Each structure stands twice: as C-alpha cells, then as structure tokens.
Structure 1
Amino acid sequence: MTEQTVTINYGPANVEVDNSYENDASYGDELSSYSASLTSSVLDYRHENGRRYHKYRDGSYLLPNDETENNRMDMIHEMCLVLLRQKLYLAPIKSPKRVIDLGTGTGMWAVDFADQHPEAEVIGCDLSPTQTPMVPPNVKFLVDDIESEWAYESNPFDYIHARNLAVSIRDFGKLIKQCYRSVKPGGWVEFQDWDCYPISPDGSIEGTGLQRYFKEVYGAFEKAGVEVRPGPKLEKCFKDAGFVNIHVEKYIIPYGIWPKDPYLKKVGAWNQAQAEQHGFEATALAALTRHKQWTQDEVLLLASQAKADARKHSIHQMFDFYVVYGQRPEN
C-alpha cells in the first residue's frame, strides 16, 4: 500500500505566462505559498449544523463529508457487497487496463477493484479528497465534478463504474452520455443505484413519521433539482446514449431484520446499521435547511421521529436497487 495521490482537475486551458515574478533561477517561497493556497481551496470545507460539507463546487452535493459520514459510506459499501453476493460489479469485463469510479466517496470500491485487478489503472473521482489514505499503487484519486465537462475522450476507459449517485446528480442522461463518449469501443459502463422512495407491501408505512420524512426530505432534493429515483430510469438512459448489450437487474433492499429470508435479513441489517449511523440526519440537514428553510432543531426532530418508526417491527419498508450495465459498440 502507498499513500494516496489527490489530483485537482480544472480541465484544459490556454496557458499564459505570469511575468510578475522576479527573474530568479528557481522558485522560492512564493511556490510554497501558492501550493498551500491551492490545497486549502479544496480542503476549506463548509461547516454548518454541526456537520462538514465539501467546499469545491460548493452546494453541488447536499450530504456531509465528515468522518461520521465516511464511516456510513463504508457501511453502505459492505451492504452492497452483501447485496451482490460479494461481487464488486456485474459487467462481463476482462482484464481492464483503465478504469474510473465516479463519485468514489471514501474510495473503498476503487481500492477493492484495484486489489482484484492489479493490471488496471484505477481512478476514483469525487468532489471531496476524503478517501482512504492507504491505497494500492495502481489507484489514484481525482478531485473533480463529474457533472462538468470531461476531458477523457482522447484517453478513454475500458470500464466506468458508478454507484449510489442518487441525491447527488441533476441529469443522469447527460452523465451517461458523457460515459459513452469516454469509454472505449467494446468497453463497459455500469451504474448501481436506488429508487430512494420506500416501498411498503403491507402499507405499514402509511401515516407514519417515516413516510413524512421521505416526503419532506426528498421533496427538498427535488426542489434543488437533484434526482432521487435514478434506478428505474437507468435503462432508458443507457439506450438513449447508444449502448448495446444492456443488462438490468433489480434488487430489494429491506430496512431492518423483518424479512424471513436469511439473505434479505442480512441486507436489511446492514441497511439499518448505516441509517443508524446518523444517516437520517445526514440526508436531511442540508436539503431541508438550505432549500426549505427548516431550522436545525426541526430537522433533527423529523429525523428522530423517522428513526423511531424505522425501529418498529410492525413497519416493513424496503427499497428497489438497480444494477444496469451496457457496452459501447465495437464499431
């Protein structure tokens, strides 16, 4: 393992010489000062309501990036491994040489993939440089906004992966078209994502604080222009982008251990565990305070009511989770 490298990508630009420096043979203190300024621009996080948020492209992502949230993201990674029966991906890729993980978060997926594929160069891309500090030598992390224009067409990928981008992307169709342009002919793109609104087959969620929570919180995300139900739309996005050999799998993620089936019970236990890690609060705070003008106390009360309902054995909720992959045509 080696220390991670964080790269800040601002895209191509015309380069003009700054003649304000003295004609020294080498750079001096001004280089250290300028480098420190660049680093601080990414690490100068926003702090509000007792949580920490990204500052680069401020406001693009409405969930925190602090240690508590990073721990929760790692728990979701483990839940997804259980859900997919310890598979990191489902696309039929073979010996990929260049791979990118969009919205990599803590970077756990990128690290695990790099361990499985030491022949591959693996890039993890995110708005925040909060990835795990120890990584394999074939991994690097890039600070960038994946909804901005990319510059990968001249050096495309064999495989592009994205997971859990719900409540963070405004236009999945545009993003997937960007993936199409940036993957090699014959290469694969895979998205794994939620329909964030819960299902309650027996109607037990009706009229509960839990139902009110999802209505208010996801209503705030939708007001902000963010997609909260990408899963069911992914297949059409892949078709519209031009992918072929599209494959769709839909999974059920229960909340809690109420299912009888041992596999679903284990998935549900992981889902409850990640939500108990301040997940209700993390999802709601910025969305409601910034876009619906709620107070912090009002949000925390709503979250506590939802969490209390979610712990009740009599309430049975679950979510649809989609895995969709497709191939760019060889020709």
Structure 2
Amino acid sequence: MAEPTGAAQEDVAPRVEIEVDTQFSESDSAYGDELSSYTASLTSSVLNFRNENGRSYHAYRDGTYLFPNDEEEKDRLDLIPDSPGLLADMITYLVVLGIDLSPIQPSQVPPNLKFLIDDFEDEWIEDDKFDFIHARYLAGSVKDFPKLLRKAYEHTAPGGWVEFQDWDAAMYSHDGSIKGTSIEQFYREVVGSFTRAGYIVSPGPKLEGWFRDAGFVDVHVQKYQVPMGTWPKDKHLKRLGAWNYLSGESGFEATALAVLTRHEKWTKDEVSILVAKTKNDAINPNIHAVFDYYVVYGRKPE
C-alpha cells in the first residue's frame, strides 16, 4: 500500500475540564447508590435478552444481529470447532481476544483468553495490533464487509495475517433437482429478506477483492463445495453433507425466524411450516443441493 505523500493536519478539539459533581463526598453512601444504579442499568442493557417466538436474542445493540443466542443456537455453533477457547488451549503463549454481541461465553476459560462484548462493525477500541485476525460464518451478520476488512487491516500488525471463511448462499444443484422445492423457496425468501434489510448474505465470492482493496498482499483463496445431506457418493463429501445438515436442522429456524417475522411480517406458524418442509428436502436423497464455501487469507505488508 503506497505511503501518502502528505497529510492534512487534523483539527483536534482542545481539552475541556470536566466539572465535578460536588454533591457527593468519598464516604457518601449516596454516591455508591448512584454508581450501583448506573452499573445495574449497563448490565441490564447487555443481559436483558429479547425473548421472541420462543427464542432469545442479544440485548446489546438490539436488532443488529438477527440470529438467536440461546442454548439451541450455541449447540449448533459448537458443531464448528473454531472457538477462541480452543485456539487459546492449543497455543498457550498466545493472547486471544473473542468478540461477541452477547455475554454467552463459558465462565471457565483459559487464562490467555478474554472476551469483549462489542459490535465489530463499530469502531474498534483495542489499541494493540493483532498478529492474526480470524472471522468465520458472518454471512447475514454484516452490512459493510469492505469497511470491516479495512478495520482488520488497520488493526493488524505489519506482517500479520487475516483470514475470513464464509459462504456463498446462492444454493445450486448440478442436475436441477432443487427446482421448485421448498429448500429453494426457503433460500429465496430468507436471502431476499436479509438483502432487503441491508445484510450481505453471500460474502464468499467477494472476499478476495475486498482483501486486495483493503491493502492485503499474498492473498490466497480456496473454494470448497459443500453439499446438503448425505446424497454424494464420495465419502468426504457425504461427511460434509451430514455436518451441513446437522447445522441446518436447527439452523433453518434460527436463520429465518427473526428476519421473516420482523421484516416480512410472516407469522411464526408460517415460518415453522416452511422450515419443516425445508428439513424434509434437506434429507431427501433426490434433492442434490450444493453451496460454495470460501477460505480467504492475506498478509499486511511489513
């Protein structure tokens, strides 16, 4: 990335002395009461989850993330073995930071791991530069991927690496067997609704370009075909298809419920009917749905 030839001097606001609230003394119990009130309010803003249609959703930045945060969803996400805790356990000399909108992390974590409740599409508050930044499965969660990649570049140490892994949600079949099915309808309705709400649902094919635009070099791209269900003859693809179905078994509802009821005015029953039909299609050996999954990583120049 080229160095700028010149930089305009920034307008820095002068420091203004903050007025002290003199009604309290150090020993005044009222000060402690006020402090407790504020901290209780802040805690409530994070922990008072939205309960809706039998699922719970994050409270901090309510509505930003349209997937649930309850036990059922955590169990589904546990199918993907890439948690910060696993990385911290494996490489004990690393300091690992995980970011989430919900305080749903386990209480027992390795000493080299910490979690931050924050929105990664907002300004990043960490001053330190990271040697490695990893993001996975953000389809439908992010509205501005190019900005997110620029932030990642800014906060990566020179010579450090960033890796994103994500889907192309444009489901297809080589033999046309998804045509007219409920699973085709599911992805048409859900992808359309997320898109109209401003979210990027198929980031995978665009990741390489976003990496290069952000300034990363040595950008590597690997695309994988992931079937839905155990219909493939190849044993590896059959196993991938089984894992994909296990994720979808609870993930179909998790993906569709909030976005369709909030943004498209569907009823819960209407969503449940479509989800049930979609599950049946997902295990139908005559329906050969496939998705593309991308792994992209790049280096920040020294």
Decide: shared fold, TM above 0.5.
Answer: yes
Structure 2 gaps of 5+ residues are 1-14
**Distance in 2 between the 1:302 and 1:133 partners?**
37
Hey, what does 1:227 align to over in structure 2? Answer: 200
What is residue 105 of structure 1 aligned with on the other side? none
Matches within 5 A, 1:148-167: 148-152=122-126, 154-167=127-140
- Distance change in 2, residues 1:52/1:14 (3 Å): farther
- Residue 279 of structure 1 is matched in structure 2 by 251
Structure 2 residue aligned with 1:86:
none
Q: Pick the aligned partner of 1:58 from 43, 55, 62.
A: 62
The whole-number CA distance in structure 1 between the counterparts of 2:143 and 2:209 is: 16
Question: Taking structure 1 as reference, are residues 15 and 297 closer, same or farther at Cα in structure 2, changes over 3 Å only?
Answer: farther
Deviations along 1:47-71, one digit per CA (max 9) or x if unpaired, are: 1111111121111111111111111
1:15 and 1:175 mapped to 2: Cα distance? 35
Q: Which digits, 9 at most, give the CA deviation of each residue in 1:213-259, with x for residues without a partner? A: 10001100001000010000000000100100000011121111111
Alignment of 1:78-117 (within 5 A): 78=81, 109-117=83-91
Cα displacement string for residues 59-117 of structure 1 (whole angstroms, at most 9, x for unaligned residues): 11111111111111111x14xxxxxxxxxxxxxxxxxxxxxxxxxxxxx5201111121
User: Within 2, Cα distance between the matches of 1:320 and 1:74?
Assistant: 21
The CA deviation at 1:46 is: 0.9
- Provide the rounded CA distance (Å) in 2 between the counterparts of 1:155 and 1:24: 34
Pick the aligned partner of 1:36 from 5, 23, 40. Answer: 40
Question: 8 Å contact 2:230–2:283 — kept in the other structure?
Answer: no
Residue 24 of structure 2 corresponds to which residue in structure 1? Answer: 22
1:177 Cα deviation from its structure 2 partner: 0.6
2:257–2:268 Cα contact (<8 Å) kept? yes
1:146–1:23 Cα change, 3 Å: same
How far apart, CA to CA, are the structure 1 residues paired with 2:261 and 2:282?
23
User: Are 1:172 and 2:145 matched, yes or no?
Assistant: yes
Q: CA deviation at 1:279?
A: 1.3
Residue by residue over 1:189-211, the C-alpha shift from the partner in whole angstroms, topping out at 9 and shown as x without a partner, is 00010111212111110011110
C-alpha displacement of 1:15: 8.8
Matches within 5 A, 1:103-142: 109-142=83-116
Question: In the TM superposition, what is the alpha-carbon distance from 1:30 to its structure 2 partner?
Answer: 3.5
Q: Which moved more, 1:19-28 or 1:117-126?
A: 19-28
| TM-score where L is the length of structure 1 | 0.83
**Change in CA separation of 1:208 and 1:30 when aligned onto 2, cut-off 3 Å:** same
TM-score under structure 2 normalisation?
Answer: 0.90
**Residues 156 and 14 of structure 1: is their aligned pair in 2 closer, same or farther, counting only changes over 3 Å?**
farther
Aligned length: 286
What amino acid is aligned across from residue 181 of structure 1 in structure 2? E
1:311 and 2:283 aligned: yes
Structure 1 residues without counterparts, runs of 5 or longer: 1-12, 79-107
Q: 1:50, 1:33 → 2: CA distance?
A: 30
CA distance in 2, matches of 1:73, 1:211: 23
Partner residue, 1:213: 186
Tell me the equivalent position of 2:299.
327
The amino acid across from 2:230 in the alignment is I
Shift of 1:129: 1.0
* Displacement after TM superposition at 1:126 (Å): 1.0
